[in-house]
C-alpha cells in the first residue's frame, strides 16, 4: 500500500470519527480539512446549502468556505446531494492553475472524502432547520414555543420590564375570507403578520397563536407604530391587479412595569387575553389596556360563575314581574318575568350576571329555573282563583342548538298543569344562518303546541325583515331604543321608522308590545300609531311577586 493510500485511510477514519463526535470538535475538524487539502493540492473547498429544491433554483441558501489558500483557479470536483426532505447540499473543490493531471484513484479518494463532508454538512444544517421548524408552524409563522423561548430568555432583571405585550384578534376575518377567498385571505394574514414583524423589528417578537390570533411583545419606542397597524393597515393581496384590503384588529395590551419578572409566563398571557376579550366585545374601543379595574371584573366573573350552582339551589334568583298594560283600558294584559339575584339582601340586576352566565351554558339552567318558578306562581294564582295573565319568560339564544329545548319547556309547563296560552317565550334575533333556521324550528314548534312566542328587542342590532317574514311570531317587542324620545319632532326618522314598523307588524298580524315607555308623550306616540300594549316605567318597574299580585288584583291602572 502506497504512502498516500495509507494517509487516505487515516483521513477517512478521522473524518468519520470527527463528523460523528458529540460534541462536535470544530478546531480538529478545520485542521483535518486543511491537512487533506494540502495533501491533495486542493486550493479551495466550499459547500452550499439550500433548504428546498425551489430555494436552490432561486439561489436562496447559505454558502460556507471550509478552506481557501487564495489560489483557486478551476473546479476539480463537484458533488450535489438531495436529502429525503429535498434539501440540497453542493460541495465544490478547486485546484490551482497548471495543476498536473490526477490519477483516477486519487480522484476517487477525493470524491469519497467530499461526500463524507457534505453528508455531514447536510445533517448538521438540517438539524438546524428542524430546530427552527420547532419554533415555526407549517405555514411559516413563529409559534407559541418561540414565544415561550423568548420569554424564557428575556425574563431577567431588565429583559421584559417596560415592554408592551399584546394579544390581537383580527376584525371580521371570516368575512374577509368569504369576500376575497381563502387563498387571498392567507396572503393577507401573512402580510399583516409580516408588517407587524417589520414594525416591531428586533425590539420584540410576534407569533401566531392560531387562526387570526397573534401574540407579541415590543418595545415602547415602537408602540405607536404597532398600535397604528392594529387600528388599520392596508394590505395588498394581489400585486398584479393591485388589490388591497384594510385589516384591523381588536387588541388586548399589557404595559409591562419596570422592573418586572414573572413567576409564570401565564401571568402575561392572562392579562392580555382578558383585555383582548373585552376589546373584542367592545363596539367602540378596539385597543384595551389591561388595568386593575379589569382584573376586578375578572374576579367578578369568577365569583358569579362559582356562586351559580349554589345560588340556584338556595333559590337566590327571584322572579320580578313587569306588567304589560293596555294603554286604552289601562288593564294588565300580561307580564314579563325578569330575573334578579338577591344576595345578602342586595338586589343584583341581570346585567351584572346574565352576560357572564352566557359565557358558558349556565344561562340555560337559569332560564328553566325562571320558567319553573313562573309556572309555580301561575299555578298558585290559578288555585287561589285569581284572574291570571300571560307571562313571558326570556330564553337565551344559547338554547337554540339544543334539540330537547321544546320538550323541556313542555315538561315544565305540563308539570304544573298550566294552560299553554299563559306562557310566552321571548327570544332575541340571531345573526347567523344556522341559528336562524334553529330559531324558526323552535318558534314553529312552540306555535304548534299553543305556547306564545315573542321576538325581543326588535330594532336593536341587525334585525332583518326576514325575521318577521319567515318566522311566525305572536308578538313583536319593540325595543326601548326604538321608541321616539320626547324631544324628537314628529317627522324625525325615529318617529317615521317606529310608525312604519308598527304598521307593518299590524298588517302581517303580529301583536306589538312596546318596551321602555316612560312618559306621557311616548304613550301618545303609541296611541297615534295604534299600538296599544306598553311595558315600561310609566306604569311600573319590574316588581317583586307580592307587589305584582297587587297589580293583578287591582285590574286597572288609575
Ligand atoms: P329585556 O328582556 O329586553 O327586558 C326588558 C328590560 O328593560 C328590563 O331590564 C326592564 O327592567 C327594562 N325596562 C322596562 N321598562 C323600562 C323603561 O321604561 N325604561 C328603561 N330604561 N328600562 C326599562 P332588566 O330587568 O334589567 O333586564 C335586562 C335584560 O336581561 C333583559 O332585557 C333580558 O335580556 C335579560 N334577562 C333578564 N332576566 C332574564 C332571564 O331570566 N333569562 C335571560 N336569558 N335573560 C334575562
Ligand atoms: Mg325580554
Ligand atoms: Mg327587550
356-401 tens-digit pLDDT: 898 888 999 999 999 999 999 999 999 999 999 999 999 998 899 8
pLDDT of residue 293: 85
CA-closest candidate to residue 374, choices 386, 359, 392: 392
User: Residue 526's Cα: distance from chain center in Å?
Assistant: 42
- Is 374 in a helix, a strand, or coil? helix
396 lines ligand 1 (CB under 6 A): yes
Separation between Cα atoms, residue 490 and residue 470, nearest integer Å? 31
Comparing 243 with 463, the larger pLDDT belongs to 243
CA-nearest residue for atom 45, ligand 1, is 394
Place of cell 409563522: 141
Ligand 1 atom nearest 517 alpha carbon: 18
Q: Over pLDDT 70: what percentage of the chain? A: 96
Q: Over pLDDT 90: what percentage of the chain? A: 58
Ligand 1 atom nearest 317 alpha carbon: 41
518 lines ligand 1 (CB under 6 A): yes
Separation between Cα atoms, residue 422 and residue 413, nearest integer Å? 10
Query: Ligand 1 centre and the CA of 349: distance in Å?
Result: 9
pLDDT exceeds cutoff 80 at 326: yes
Find the range with the poorest average confidence among 18-27, 182-191, 262-271, 320-329.
18-27
Does residue 335 have a cis bond before it (omega within 30 degrees)? no
pLDDT of residue 318: 98
Q: Assign 431 a pLDDT band (cuts: 50, 70, 90).
A: low
Yes or no: say if 166 and 272 are a contact pair by the CB < 8 Å rule: yes
371 lines ligand 1 (CB under 6 A): no
Query: Ligand 3 centre and the CA of 514: distance in Å?
Result: 9
pLDDT of residue 133: 61
Q: Assign 208 a pLDDT band (cuts: 50, 70, 90).
A: very high
Taking residue 106's Cβ as centre, other Cβ atoms within 10 Å add up to: 15
Which CA distances in Å does 284 have to 56, 104, 176, 295?
Answer: 49, 79, 20, 20
Ligand 1 atom nearest 537 alpha carbon: 18
Query: Ligand 3 centre and the CA of 8: distance in Å?
Result: 90
Query: Ligand 2 centre and the CA of 354: distance in Å?
Result: 12
CA-nearest residue for atom 17, ligand 1, is 516
Predicted TM-score (pTM) of this structure: 0.62
CA-nearest residue for atom 7, ligand 1, is 516
CA-nearest residue for atom 3, ligand 1, is 457
Yes or no: say if 484 and 495 are a contact pair by the CB < 8 Å rule: yes
pLDDT exceeds cutoff 80 at 271: yes
CA-closest candidate to residue 458, choices 483, 433, 421: 483
User: Residue 72's Cα: distance from chain center in Å?
Assistant: 59
370 lines ligand 1 (CB under 6 A): yes
CA-nearest residue for atom 29, ligand 1, is 350
Query: Ligand 2 centre and the CA of 456: distance in Å?
Result: 5
Place of cell 319553573: 372
- Is 131 in a helix, a strand, or coil? helix
Query: Ligand 1 centre and the CA of 363: distance in Å?
Result: 15
519 lines ligand 1 (CB under 6 A): no
Query: Ligand 2 centre and the CA of 391: distance in Å?
Result: 11
Comparing 123 with 287, the larger pLDDT belongs to 287
542 lines ligand 1 (CB under 6 A): yes
Give the ligand whose atoms come closest to the C-alpha of residue 395: 1
Give the ligand whose atoms come closest to the C-alpha of residue 339: 1
Separation between Cα atoms, residue 553 and residue 250, nearest integer Å? 52
Which CA distances in Å does 257 have to 159, 230, 277?
Answer: 11, 22, 22
Q: Assign 434 a pLDDT band (cuts: 50, 70, 90).
A: low
Yes or no: say if 117 and 123 are a contact pair by the CB < 8 Å rule: no
Separation between Cα atoms, residue 410 and residue 394, nearest integer Å? 15
Ligand 1 atom nearest 395 alpha carbon: 44
Which CA distances in Å does 117 have to 111, 210, 378?
Answer: 10, 40, 89
354 lines ligand 1 (CB under 6 A): yes
Ligand 1 atom nearest 396 alpha carbon: 44
When pLDDT is averaged across residues 479-506 and rounded to a whole number, the result is 83
CA-closest candidate to residue 125, choices 93, 92, 78, 88: 88
- Is 50 in a helix, a strand, or coil? strand
Comparing 149 with 256, the larger pLDDT belongs to 256
| The CA-based dihedral angle spanning residues 19, 22, 24, 29, taken in that order and rounded to the nearest 10 degrees | -40
Task: Give the single-character DSSP code of 284.
Answer: S
Give the ligand whose atoms come closest to the C-alpha of residue 516: 1
* Cell numbers given for 297: 371584573
540 lines ligand 1 (CB under 6 A): no
pLDDT of residue 558: 82
456 lines ligand 1 (CB under 6 A): yes
Ligand 1 atom nearest 428 alpha carbon: 34
pLDDT of residue 283: 61
Yes or no: say if 28 and 20 are a contact pair by the CB < 8 Å rule: no
Yes or no: say if 41 and 96 are a contact pair by the CB < 8 Å rule: yes
pLDDT of residue 130: 61
Taking the chain, what is the end-to-end CA distance rounded to the nearest angstrom? 125
Taking residue 330's Cβ as centre, other Cβ atoms within 10 Å add up to: 13
Yes or no: say if 442 and 427 are a contact pair by the CB < 8 Å rule: yes
Neighbours of ion ligand 2 (CB under 5 A): 394, 426, 456
- pLDDT digits over 158-181, tens only? 889 999 999 999 998 988 888 999
Amino acid at each position: 500500500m502506497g504512502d498516500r493510500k495509507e494517509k487516505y485511510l487515516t483521513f477517512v477514519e478521522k473524518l468519520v470519527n470527527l463528523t460523528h463526535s458529540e460534541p462536535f470538535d470544530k478546531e480538529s475538524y478545520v485542521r483535518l480539512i486543511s491537512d487533506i487539502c494540502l495533501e491533495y493540492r486542493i486550493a479551495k473547498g466550499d459547500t452550499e446549502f439550500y433548504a428546498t429544491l425551489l430555494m436552490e433554483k432561486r439561489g436562496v441558501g447559505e454558502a460556507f468556505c471550509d478552506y481557501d489558500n487564495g489560489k483557486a483557479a478551476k473546479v476539480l470536483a463537484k458533488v450535489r446531494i438531495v436529502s429525503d426532505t429535498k434539501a440540497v447540499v453542493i460541495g465544490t473543490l478547486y485546484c490551482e492553475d497548471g495543476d498536473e493531471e490526477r490519477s483516477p484513484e486519487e480522484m476517487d479518494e477525493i470524491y469519497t472524502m467530499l461526500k463524507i463532508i457534505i453528508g455531514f454538512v447536510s445533517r448538521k444544517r438540517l438539524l438546524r432547520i428542524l430546530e427552527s421548524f420547532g419554533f415555526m408552524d407549517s405555514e411559516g409563522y413563529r409559534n407559541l414555543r418561540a414565544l415561550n423561548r423568548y420569554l424564557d430568555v428575556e425574563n431577567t432583571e431588565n429583559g421584559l420590564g417596560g415592554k408592551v405585550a399584546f394579544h390581537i384578534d383580527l376584525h371580521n376575518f371570516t368575512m374577509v375570507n368569504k369576500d376575497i377567498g381563502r387563498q387571498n385571505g392567507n396572503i393577507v394574514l401573512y402580510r399583516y403578520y409580516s408588517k407587524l414583524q417589520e414594525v416591531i423589528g428586533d425590539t420584540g417578537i410576534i407569533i401566531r397563536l392560531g387562526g387570526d390570533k397573534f401574540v407579541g411583545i415590543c418595545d415602547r419606542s415602537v408602540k405607536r407604530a404597532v398600535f397604528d397597524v392594529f387600528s388599520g393597515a392596508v394590505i395588498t393581496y394581489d400585486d398584479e391587479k393591485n388589490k388591497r384590503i384594510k385589516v384591523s384588529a381588536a387588541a388586548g395590551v399589557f404595559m409591562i412595569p419596570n422592573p418586572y419578572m414573572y413567576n409564570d409566563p401565564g401571568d402575561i398571557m392572562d392579562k392580555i387575553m382578558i383585555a383582548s376579550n373585552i376589546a373584542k366585545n367592545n363596539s367602540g374601543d378596539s385597543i384595551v389596556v389591561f388595568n386593575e379595574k379589569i382584573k376586578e371584573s375578572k374576579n367578578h366573573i369568577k365569583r358569579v360563575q362559582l356562586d351559580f350552582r349554589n345560588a340556584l339551589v338556595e333559590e337566590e334568583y327571584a322572579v320580578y314581574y313587569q306588567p304589560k298594560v293596555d294603554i286604552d283600558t289601562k288593564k294588565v294584559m300580561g307580564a314579563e318575568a325578569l330575573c334578579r339575584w338577591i344576595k345578602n339582601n342586595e338586589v343584583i340586576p341581570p346585567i351584572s350576571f346574565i352576560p357572564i352566565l352566557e359565557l358558558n351554558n349556565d344561562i340555560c339552567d337559569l332560564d328553566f329555573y325562571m320558567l319553573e318558578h313562573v309556572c309555580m306562581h301561575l299555578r298558585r294564582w290559578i288555585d287561589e282563583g285569581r284572574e291570571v295573565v300571560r307571562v313571558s319568560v326570556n330564553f337565551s339564544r344559547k338554547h337554540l342548538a339544543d334539540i330537547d329545548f321544546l320538550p323541556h319547556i313542555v315538561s315544565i309547563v305540563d308539570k304544573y298543569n298550566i294552560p299553554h296560552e299563559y306562557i310566552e317565550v321571548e327570544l332575541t334575533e340571531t345573526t347567523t344562518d344556522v341559528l336562524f333556521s334553529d330559531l324558526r324550528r323552535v318558534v314553529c314548534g312552540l306555535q304548534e303546541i299553543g305556547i306564545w312566542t315573542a321576538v325581543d328587542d326588535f330594532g336593536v342590532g341587525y334585525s332583518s325583515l326576514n325575521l318577521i317574514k319567515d318566522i311566525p311570531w305572536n308578538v313583536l317587542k319593540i325595543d326601548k331604543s326604538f321608541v321616539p324620545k320626547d324631544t324628537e319632532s314628529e317627522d324625525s326618522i325615529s318617529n317615521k321608522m317606529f310608525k312604519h314598523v308598527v304598521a307593518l307588524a299590524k298588517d302581517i298580524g303580529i301583536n306589538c308590545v312596546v318596551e321602555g315607555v316612560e312618559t306621557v308623550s311616548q304613550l301618545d306616540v303609541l296611541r297615534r300609531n295604534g299600538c296599544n300594549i306598553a311595558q315600561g316605567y310609566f306604569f311600573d318597574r319590574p316588581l317583586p311577586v307580592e307587589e305584582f299580585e297587587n297589580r293583578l288584583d287591582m285590574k286597572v291602572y288609575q
